[in-house]
Structure 1
Amino acid sequence: METSELLKKVRHIEIKARGLSQNIFAGQYHSAFKGRGMLFSEVREYQYGDDLRDIDWKVTARYNRPYVKIYEEERELTVMLVIDVSGSLTFGSSIMIKRDMVAEIAATLAFSAIQNNDKIGVIFFSDEVEKFIPPRKGKKHILYIIREILSFEPKNQGTEISVALRYLTNAIKKRCTAFLISDFIDPDDYKQSLRIANRKHDIVAVQVYDKLSTNLKPVGLMKVKDPETKEETWIDTSSTKVRNEYSNWWNKRQIEMHNAFRQSSVDYVSVSTDEDYVKSLLQLFQQRR
């Protein structure tokens, strides 16, 4: 991608994502993703209805009348975007390819995090961790992340979600909120890694898929190419048996993915490239409140 084209695309995503995060997501995001706990703020005189457990006995003894401690939420979070950059994300049959939708979703989440004064970092992964951007704050950092999302070229084309989850578990020492954004087309089982990662961190999964991937249209002989293995083959889409086998494969894979999320207590949402991801993200935020 040429520099001028990249900058134009960055600007477009910045305007859209910033508007969404300011006007729609800011309050929902704040409610859905809590801080690490409560910090002591100040003391004041006891009022009827205050919790007796909050009484500050040292100040009470000093002034001979009861005082209570006041706390406020420790709001700052560390947010990690764990982004799939494998070959299958380059597919798209509708308005946009999966990778472009991943970029918009990631940018919107990043701006929402910054609006709430959270740190934001990124892990790009294929079948290995391709790049790690440590969490920081600030607009300059956000724009750098968006540029990387749009222009990053992975060395490998395969997918191994477990590799990314193990890296997240080991690299980020304190508890964070991690958005795992992928199409979840992974030949390997990632349930155990997901369960372990979600014990330490708060994992939220966002599946991006294309409707054409869910079933085959009867258009006759079709040459298909696996974007990750580069393997090519001919299939007869006019065959009811072939279409049913493909549909069964897709449904089985979706069930396995949903079971992995449920068994690991991971909140998730699935978004098609021809759908409005704003509505889906809002639903995800609301179910966590």
Structure 2
Amino acid sequence: MHQEFSTGTEIDAERLAGLRVLAGLLPLHRQKKILNDQAGTHTSRLRGRGIDFSEVREYQPGDDIRSMDWRVTARTGDAHIKVFREERERPVLICCDLRASMNFATRRALKRVVAADIAALFAWSAMSHGDRVGGLVFNDTHEFDLRPHTGRKTLMAYLHQLASTPVSQPAEAAPRMLDICRHIARIARPGTAVYIISDWSGFDDECERVLYPLSRHCDLLAVHVSDPFERDLPAGHFDVTDGNQRRSLHVSDKSRQEHQQHWRQAVADLQTRLMRLRAPLTFITTENDPLDQLRQGFGLGGGGRR
């Protein structure tokens, strides 16, 4: 079955639902080790899923001494360890940025449309693996969150919210991004895989500080959505519009070089902050197929579709 990603300016709930057929081409559970290697971290086999206490039993040769239950050991005089088991369903929280800064593109689809497609694909992939799917959708003034649950009902509600969240008036990027980081840190329980899909406008040192405790007990993964015009501003005269008004923009060679330098520095700063958070970063541009970019960024190889 052939399924195309969205183009244009509108987020279509029916198209988001149709991305279910591509879920098998983005096996999120397989990219975990590769992304951890990219982030320069060593992650235990239990990180990324919640763990439940199962029982206390006598120590056996080969058991991890770090699991020793010293209270029971002291009481009985025999070595005992705590046994834990992984939750069958990993909680997954997919956070999608639909602020005014995402309402931009010069190629194929608006950044917000691409971000919504990626969020939907993540949701379908997680559900197909038996994980509990939840999400956060935010614009410049409001946020809507659904706590992770199994089944289609929560996922479909999330897709509906992606399609129905309105474009809001621009607000100050830094305070709004900080508010969202605080919200994520508040609702993500230990063991959650947290995907943040954004242009990361306003992500600063304070945002990093807020997410730092979260990064110690969750798998945090970052997707950066941009348009080619943002990273490589061409020189010349251009007409730009927000859908209501039209303006003429003149870009000199000097301003183009300054913009490119600023862009490179901003990306380098973001990479540094996310590296400290042990959060792998995948870059997505509006001009190319999101699935191929995600597979390459996640270390799964390109060519997801033929």
- Name the TM-score class by shorter chain: 0.7 to 0.9
Shift of 1:152: 0.8
Aligned to 2:24: 22
Change (3 A) 1:184 1:226: farther
Which of 166, 171, 192 is matched with 2:182 structurally? 166
SS in 2 for 1:99: helix
1:198 corresponds to 2:201: no
Alignment of 1:28-43 (within 5 A): 28=30, 34-37=48-51
User: What is the aligned-residue identity percentage?
Assistant: 22
Q: Greater shift after overlay, 23-32 or 124-133?
A: 23-32
The two structures have a TM-score, normalised by structure 1, of 0.74
Shift of 1:234: 6.5
Q: Greater shift after overlay, 119-128 or 30-39?
A: 30-39
Alignment of 1:105-144 (within 5 A): 105-127=118-140, 129-144=142-157
Which of 272, 278, 282 is matched with 1:259 structurally? 272
**Which whole-Å CA distance do the structure 2 matches of 1:111 and 1:173 have between them?**
21
Change (3 A) 1:162 1:199: farther
**Which whole-Å CA distance do the structure 2 matches of 1:274 and 1:179 have between them?**
22
Shift of 1:27: 5.8
**Which whole-Å CA distance do the structure 1 matches of 2:165 and 2:296 have between them?**
30
Question: 1:29, 1:112 within 8 Å by CA — same for their partners in 2?
Answer: no
Shift of 1:255: 1.0
Equivalent residue pairs, number: 255
1:181 corresponds to 2:194: no
User: Which blocks of at least 5 consecutive residues in structure 2 are unaligned?
Assistant: 1-10, 36-46, 65-82, 301-306
- Structure 1 counterpart of 2:225, which letter? V
Change (3 A) 1:174 1:11: same
SS in 2 for 1:133: strand
**Which whole-Å CA distance do the structure 2 matches of 1:72 and 1:278 have between them?**
33
Shift of 1:156: 5.0
- Structure 2 counterpart of 1:208, which letter? V
Change (3 A) 1:156 1:215: same
Question: 1:129, 1:164 within 8 Å by CA — same for their partners in 2?
Answer: no
Question: 1:34, 1:75 within 8 Å by CA — same for their partners in 2?
Answer: no
**Which whole-Å CA distance do the structure 1 matches of 2:190 and 2:204 have between them?**
28
Which of 208, 211, 216 is matched with 2:233 structurally? 216
1:280 corresponds to 2:293: yes
Aligned to 1:62: none
1:149 corresponds to 2:162: yes
Shift of 1:110: 0.3
Change (3 A) 1:226 1:188: farther
Change (3 A) 1:242 1:156: closer
**Which whole-Å CA distance do the structure 1 matches of 2:99 and 2:212 have between them?**
22
The two structures have a TM-score, normalised by structure 2, of 0.70
- Structure 2 counterpart of 1:150, which letter? A
**Which whole-Å CA distance do the structure 2 matches of 1:195 and 1:27 have between them?**
23
SS in 1 for 2:12: helix
Shift of 1:226: 8.8
Q: CA RMSD in A?
A: 3.5
Q: Greater shift after overlay, 18-27 or 202-211?
A: 18-27
**Which whole-Å CA distance do the structure 1 matches of 2:261 and 2:242 have between them?**
18
Aligned to 1:269: 282
User: Which blocks of at least 5 consecutive residues in structure 1 are unaligned?
Assistant: 1-7, 54-69
Alignment of 1:226-241 (within 5 A): 235-237=249-251, 239-241=252-254
Aligned to 1:57: none
